Structure 1
Amino acid sequence: LCEEFGHKLLPLPPYSPEYNPIEKTCAHIKKHLKKVLPSCNTFYEALLSHSCFSLL
């Protein structure tokens, strides 16, 4: 279909997380959260301590 309209379809490069900065950011955040909030209960308690999440 693309070629019918004079367009050339280019393949995407292979996925490389090392070239995607959000991957490094998310990994850093996850690592920090695991240290600070080791369990789901701790995370839930931390959420409840903030007024905007008190309705949960």
Structure 2
Amino acid sequence: ARRWVVERTHSWINRFRRLLIRWEKKVENYLAMLHLACAWMTFRAAGLFG
């Protein structure tokens, strides 16, 4: 069985506990963490990080 791209992405984002449970009260802080998580996943997929 193959997973859809969106399901896989949501699974990867759920590994970041800070995004799974929204602790930040400011939207800017939450979006910054979301961008950081997406950048981290992109670098890992490209093989730049371990």
Q: Same fold (TM over 0.5)?
A: no
Q: Which has the larger radius of gyration?
A: 1
Structure with more helix by fraction: 2
TM-score by length of 1: 0.33
Under a length normalisation based on structure 2, what TM-score does the superposition of the two structures give?
A: 0.36
Answer 1 or 2: higher relative contact order, Cα 8 Å, separation at least 6: 2
